[in-house]
Amino acid sequence: MSLRYLWLLSLTLAVIAQVDYSQYVNPFIGSEGPFPGQGYGGGDIFVGGARPFGVVKVGIDTTAANWSTAVLNGGWSPDGNVTAIINQGYSPRNTSLFPPAYPAQVGHDTASVGYFKTQLQNGVQIELSGSRHAGIIQYNFPAGEKHVLVDVSHYLPGSPNDPNSQFYIGGEIQVHDNGQAWSGYGTYVGGWNNGAPFTVYFYGEFDMAPEAARLFRGPNTDPMRGYQGLANGRPSFAIYDNLTNTATSGPMNDRVGGTFTWDVDEQLSITSRIGISFISVEKAQLYIRSEIPSWRLNDTVDSTVQVWNDDVFSKIQVPLDDTANLTNVRLLYSSLYFIHLMPSDRTGENPLWESDEPSWDDFYTLWDIFRCTVSFYHIFQPVYYESMIRGLIDIWRHQGFLPDGRSGNWNGLVQGGSNADNVLADAYVKGLRGAINWTDGYAAMKTNAEVVPYNTHDPTDYTASTKEGRGALLDWLELGYVSKDRSTRCISRTVEYSLNDFAISQVAAGEMPGDQEKYLRRSAGWQEIWNPNVKSLDFNGFLAPKFSNGSFNESGYDPLYCYGCEWSDYTYEAVPWEYSFVIPHDMQTLIDFMGGPQMFESRLDLMFKPNTSVQALGPNGAGITTLMNIGNEPDFATPYLYNYINKQCKSVQRTKELAYQYFHDGPSGIPGNSDAGAMNTWLLWSILGIYPIVTTDVYLLGSPSFKDLNMTINGNETLRIRATGLEDGFYVQSVKINGADWKKNWFQHGDVLQSGGVIEFDLGSEQVVWEEGDVPPSPGHVEI
């Protein structure tokens, strides 16, 4: 007895000694945009129970209060009513199914890491949590009728005008053990990436058997844009039939589901555990056994919190004593939370091919996360990151192309370039090897550079593939740029293909040296569309639309406009003014083209002038009036570009102003779509006081937010970032790296991020030019 007691005591002490960082996470950051109570222009985030890079995200789905301002990608929205709990039906008091009156929530929902609670108007309270492949949901019913509806045919709704909606196209449900358990599968198609059908198997169970379990089957009457429904001519209601314990959608792709009823009048809690798998019902069931062995909801909450602390939060330590600025602490740990929700580690869950390689999905998208998120994974999650890259290469091995976006086991969409190239190059130049087969990695990149993907005839853009690869590759190969008359997004794709080819040259340097020069030359393609005659706001020279015959369209072109910034326009989601700064591999030529350091500086200054932006960018720039749009990814590096003219103090000014103005510990706490954590990573780097230049091993110095910060990097090394003078101001006065005076405003990966090291900043209120010598390098410098 006493031995057992001691063991328990030491366990308790160990638990107490560990900090629960999850208390600093605000899971609602980004749930609203600039208009309070609405998701529009906000982070488009998921709210619910999930684990780092986990397969399931357990949460509620809601209706759109107003489709023109709705944001439902993550299910939860601040102003919609509850339609479902993902992979689980909602709890109607009224069992008539179509159309249900969706219950409104009462008051504000509650969420913390691994936990979510909502109170419905109908009196039902729902609490839930998630593990990697399973969820647990507790329904607290008031006195009265008690039903749970399991609707296999539920899916995330899209707006009526959305060309990329998702749909249910078939499924099956069976009940077991007198209705205490149920299993089956549902098949869904579409979504933002226009994906092929994918099937999810499920196994669910209740902690107490219901008195009745009835299955239904009814026609699938949802109008399916781009697909044919089979429901015409039949009555549009579902029927409960009493002959079997199975309902199958059959050849008609009917909706199927079941209701489970408890004949208890007094209030009652019913708990349900559900596992899912892309392989089989058996695996789905096993996940419940291995991941959620307890019926106590909070056992799962506790273990999920533990995983987040161990895998993520505890790897960064900052002072948490009385001197701590808790707002900054909460921004730090919340940002870490949001960058670990996607992609999903689907290892063991790939239904498409057998492989010893890991399997990853939900890259949503690389266009978003290549800019600074993958560089964060690299130092912070080297094990996951190596696995992710192996998974990416395996997609190429078995499906022919690396993805740019991917979900539902399907590549798509490609918004600009083939940005997996940038991701692989970033890992490669920083020395990530492990079990990555770089011979294949390089071959995969080369496919992007040389193989024209077949046209997917996507209504979004009929001209070329939107699925994978480079849709405008024929132009690129023949002309060295993307032309205005043959291709869409001619400017932004030229910008992205240039960096993609630079990325390939970086990996070629090690894997296929004979190719390096060729791709380096191709990476100068952006110079082909630089038109020195274009004038805007007193500046000369901009990226401009160029015809395939080599002449520019000089009539009426204004780089302040993109005429929509969509798939068919000059530029995608940013105007040419902005894209004209996005040449990270050859800033030297860019500064030259812009007329030298002084002209470059004043042009950059103008990016930050309020009320200058004239192009409406919709939700991708809601509430932002400067040309610099921190609400979307293309401009992420722009505020740091003063480092390239040795005026780091202005980079600090710009980045800190953006961080303070646009990032908060509140629902509208990020300036645009989180985009799989891309937006949150921008803030994380600004908190650290460094910023990576993707596809190179260079980091620019900014200004840190904490006086002391330890970060576990590269598995078991430590990066320490210290700052004195924080209380006086954020401008850098001097820097030391590993104890030695550091005069450059940049450093390389090997300096502190491979084996660890210390960066010491001395900060103050004065803007001083403290750096001297070489500006950050332009390794892609080419003169044509």
Among 660, 743, 755, 769, binds ligand NAG (CB under 6 A): 660
Q: CA of 521: how far to CAs of 128, 490, 497, 517, in Å?
A: 54, 19, 12, 6
Q: Which of residues 126-145 bind ligand NAG (CB under 6 A)?
A: none
Cis peptide before 365 (omega within 30 of 0): yes
Q: Which of 12, 18, 23, 96 binds ligand NAG (CB under 6 A)?
A: 96
Place of tokens 């929530």: 105
Q: Is 10 in the site for ligand NAG (CB under 6 A)?
A: no
> For residues 2 and 242, which CB has a smaller minimum distance to ligand NAG in the complex?
242
Q: Considering only residues 710, 724, 733, 734, which one is a binding residue for ligand NAG as defined by CB under 6 A?
A: 710
x/- mask, ligand NAG, residues 605-644, rule CB under 6 A, reads -----xx---------------------------------
Pairwise CA distance, residues 659 & 648, whole Å:
16
Q: Tell me if 294 contacts ligand NAG by CB under 6 A.
A: no
Q: Coil, helix or strand for 291?
A: helix
Q: Choose between 720 and 781: whose C-beta lies nearer to ligand NAG.
A: 720
User: In sequence order, what are the residues at sequence separation of 6 or more whose Cβ sits closer than 8 angstroms to the Cβ of residue 432?
Assistant: 378, 382, 385, 386, 389
From 64-72, 225-233, 345-353, 582-590, give the range in contact with ligand NAG by CB under 6 A.
64-72
Is residue 66 within the footprint of ligand NAG (CB under 6 A)?
A: yes
Q: Are 238 and 97 in contact (CB under 8 A)?
A: yes
- The reply on whether position 708 binds ligand NAG by CB under 6 A is yes
**Binder among 26, 81, 411, 488 for ligand NAG (CB under 6 A):** 81
Q: Which residues pair with 363 in a beta bridge?
A: 406
Nearer to ligand NAG, 681 or 778 (CB): 681
Any idea what the Cα angle at residue 191 is, between residues 137 and 694, rounded to 5°? 95
- Region near ligand NAG per CB under 6 A, out of 334-342, 473-481, 534-542, 707-715: 707-715
Which of 547, 606, 756, 781 binds ligand NAG (CB under 6 A)? It is 547
Residue labelled with tokens 């308790």 = 12
Q: Does 437 bind ligand NAG (CB under 6 A)?
A: yes
Q: Which of 20, 34, 63, 252 binds ligand NAG (CB under 6 A)?
A: 63
Segment near ligand NAG (CB under 6 A); pick from 313-321, 423-431, 508-516, 528-536 = 313-321
The secondary structure element, H or E, covering residue 117 is strand 115-119
What 8-state DSSP symbol labels residue 473?
H
- Closest CB to ligand NAG among 69 and 455? 69
> Phi then psi for 335, rounded to 5 degrees?
-65, -40
Instruction: Judge whether 330 and 318 are in contact, CB under 8 Å.
Output: no
Minimum CB distance to ligand NAG, residue 530 (Å): 17
Compare residues 550 and 596 and give the one whose CB is closer to ligand NAG.
550
Look at residues 440, 564, 547, 572 and name the one whose alpha carbon lies nearest to residue 495.
572
Alpha carbon separation from 704 to 333, 503, 552, 684, 726 (Å, rounded) = 15, 29, 44, 10, 9
Binding pattern to ligand NAG, positions 167-196, x when CB under 6 A?
Answer: ------------------------------
3-state secondary structure of 526: helix
CB closer to ligand NAG, 100 vs 197: 100
Q: Environment class of residue 548 by beta-carbon count within 10 Å: exposed (0-12), middle (13-18) or buried (19+)?
A: middle
Nearest distance, CB of residue 588 and ligand NAG, angstroms: 30
In whole angstroms, what is the distance from residue 412 CA to residue 679 CA?
21
- With tokens 């490609």, the residue in question is 414
Q: Are 673 and 620 in contact (CB under 8 A)?
A: yes
Select from 3-11, 45-53, 235-243, 572-580 the region that touches ligand NAG (CB under 6 A). 235-243
Percent of residues in the chain assigned helix, strand, coil, to nearest 5: 30, 20, 50
233 binds ligand NAG (CB under 6 A): no
Tokens of 744: 């450059």
Closest to ligand NAG by CB, 98 vs 462, is: 98
Q: Which is nearer to ligand NAG, 69 or 280 (CB)?
A: 69
Per CB under 6 A, contacts with ligand NAG among 369-428 are none
Q: What is the DSSP string of 396-453?
A: HHHHSS--SSEETTEE---SSS-THHHHHHHHHHTT--TT--HHHHHHHHHHHHH-PP
Binding residues for ligand NAG, total number by CB under 6 A: 42
Interface stretch with ligand NAG, choices 157-165, 414-422, 695-703, 712-720 (CB under 6 A): 712-720
Binding range to ligand NAG, per CB under 6 A, among 245-253, 312-320, 422-430, 503-511: 312-320
CA dist., res. 774 & res. 742, Å (int): 12
> For residue 169, what are its two tokens?
């196209």
List the x/- string, 549-578, binding to ligand NAG by CB under 6 A: x-x-x-xxx---------------------
Give the chain's count of helices (H) and strands (E).
19, 30
Q: Build a one-symbol-per-residue string for 720-739: x at contacts with ligand NAG by CB under 6 A, - elsewhere.
A: x-------------------
Nearer to ligand NAG, 404 or 511 (CB): 511
**Binder among 94, 533, 598, 661 for ligand NAG (CB under 6 A):** 94
If the CB atoms of residues 465 and 531 are measured against ligand NAG, the closer one turns out to be 531
- The binding track of 97-116 with respect to ligand NAG, each residue x by CB under 6 A or -, is -------x-------x--x-
Q: How far is the CB of 312 from ligand NAG (least distance, A)?
A: 16
Half-sphere exposure of 70 toward its Cβ, with a 13 Å CA cutoff?
23
Q: 136 near 297, Cβ under 8 Å?
A: yes
Q: Any contact of residue 318 with ligand NAG (CB under 6 A)? A: yes
Do 714 and 721 touch, CB atoms closer than 8 A?
Answer: no
Q: Which of 20, 34, 69, 221 binds ligand NAG (CB under 6 A)?
A: 69
Q: Verify binding: residue 486, ligand NAG, rule CB under 6 A.
A: no
Nearest to 594 by CA among 584, 585, 603: 603
Q: Environment class of residue 749 by beta-carbon count within 10 Å: exposed (0-12), middle (13-18) or buried (19+)?
A: buried
d(CA 691, CA 699): 5
The residue from 160, 250, 319, 510 that contacts ligand NAG (CB under 6 A) is 319
State in angstroms the smallest separation of the CB of 99 from ligand NAG. 8
Binding mask 489-528 for ligand NAG (x = CB under 6 A): ----------------------------------------
Beta-sheet pairing, 268-277 with 316-317: unpaired
For every residue of 248-264, DSSP letters joined together read E-GGGT-EEEEEEEE--
Stretch touching ligand NAG by CB under 6 A, among 237-245, 628-636, 749-757, 765-773: 237-245
Nearer to ligand NAG, 199 or 437 (CB): 437
Instruction: With CA atoms as reference, report the closest residue to 180 among 148, 154, 152, 153.
Output: 148
253: its two tokens: 């792709």
Q: Which is nearer to ligand NAG, 115 or 401 (CB)?
A: 115
Of 33, 80, 403, 469, which one interacts with ligand NAG (CB under 6 A)? 80
**For tokens 């869904």, what's the residue?**
188
Distance in Å, CB of 709 to ligand NAG, minimum: 6
Length of the chain: 784
First-to-last alpha carbon distance for the chain, in angstroms, is: 81
Residue from 68, 228, 232, 323 that binds ligand NAG (CB under 6 A)? 68
Rule CB under 6 A: which residues touch ligand NAG? 63, 65-66, 68-69, 80-81, 94, 96, 104, 112, 115, 241-243, 298, 301, 317-319, 325, 327-328, 437, 439-440, 485, 547, 549, 551, 553, 555-557, 610-611, 660, 708, 710, 715-716, 720
